[in-house]
Structures are given as structure tokens and as C-alpha cells.
Amino acid sequence: MASGRLRITGGSARGVPLVEPRGVRLRPSSGLVREALFNIIGSATDGARVLDLYAGTGALGIEALSRGAATVIFVESDPTSARAIVQSLARTGFPEQGEVVRARLPNAVANLAGEFSLILMDPPYDATEAPETLVAAAVLLAPAGLFVYEHASRYNPPERPAGLTLTERRVYGDSALAFYRRQEAE
């Protein structure tokens, strides 16, 4: 059900409330963090094929669609959350551009095909499998792509996981964003 609390912060669907699943404990990216993220990455969403891992409410992926992404694959294990993402895609006018894959991470990564120009990963801050998911999903990043990992600010993310290089980290209170690019050949 939409509470009106979680809204798209920019682009064509700016201000549209997202469906927030009842009975599911989530920590969606705050509007401040989402807005900062998309201001930092700028035109990286233009025509992008996006992967939203630990999708939750779908806020990151739908925000990418609102700002010009071509398609988004949302990976979410909780059935209530997955249904809410489908409803939010319809509400924001993107039902054809989004696909929800209901599966657990990191195992689901092996079943995804192709390369993504933008990968967004926002796991629960206590998810012990998050580093393993980061490594598993790194192979799906296109050569000029960008991988963004939202994590607890008290956590230091790995600097060079699986061929990626940490290029920047920004802190917003309890949350932080780690930006990765493919490692340059040495």
C-alpha cells in the first residue's frame, strides 16, 4: 500500500509515491541518498540497462527508469516486496521496462544474462552475503559500466573486489555509497 512517504525524487515520475509492502521489514534508500546518487552519476542512466540487487521497494531501479534508463531487472527474494515493485512500476508508468526476478542472492546472479551498464546494490546492512553478492555480480558489469553499493557508513567496503576498483565513497549519515568501475589493465 502506498503511504506517500516514499516518492520518486527526479525525472519523469518525480513525486509519484511508491507502493510500500506491509509486513516486510525494509530500509529503503532515503530520498536524500537516492537524489545524491543520481546527481553524482548524472547521465549514466541515459538508455542504461540496469540491475537492481536486493531491490526491496524498487526505489533505486524505478528512480533509474524515471531518469532515463531503458530497462531494469529487479532481484528481490520476498514475494510481498516483489509484488509491490510490480505495482510501483505500473503506478510510475514503467510496467514494460521493468522485470522482477524473485530469487535469493547471491545465487540468483548465476541465472542473469548479459551485461549491465549500471548495477545498484542496496542489501540490508546486516546481510552477511553482501560481499559475496558484490563479487558474483561484478562479472555482469559492462566494461564502461558503474557499480554502486549502498552500505552502512560504519562498514569499509572492499577496494578491489573481483576486477572492480573502488573509485569513490560518499557518506550520508548512517548510509554510504561506494562507486566501483572495472579495474584498468596494468
Which residue type, as a one-letter code, is found at position 180?
A: Y
pLDDT digits (tens, 9 = 90+) for 77-118: 999 999 999 999 999 999 999 999 999 999 999 999 999 999
pLDDT of res. 64: 98
Give the three-class secondary structure for 71.
strand
The domain ranges of the chain are 30-182
pLDDT of res. 97: 98
pLDDT digits (tens, 9 = 90+) for 15-66: 999 998 876 666 667 778 999 999 999 999 999 999 999 999 999 999 999 9
pLDDT digits (tens, 9 = 90+) for 141-186: 999 999 999 999 998 899 998 889 999 999 999 999 999 998 765 5
Q: What is the pTM of this model?
A: 0.93
CA distances from 94 to 15, 98, 104, 175, 176 (A): 15, 7, 24, 28, 28
Residue 98 makes CB contacts below 8 A (sequence gap 6+) with 58, 61, 62, 65, 71, 72, 73, 74, 85, 86, 89
Matching CATH number, 30-182, of 3.50.50.60, 3.40.50.150, 3.30.1180.10, 2.40.30.10: 3.40.50.150
Residue 10 makes CB contacts below 8 A (sequence gap 6+) with 35, 38, 63, 66, 67
Is residue 1 very low, low, confident or very high in pLDDT (cuts 50, 70, 90)? very low
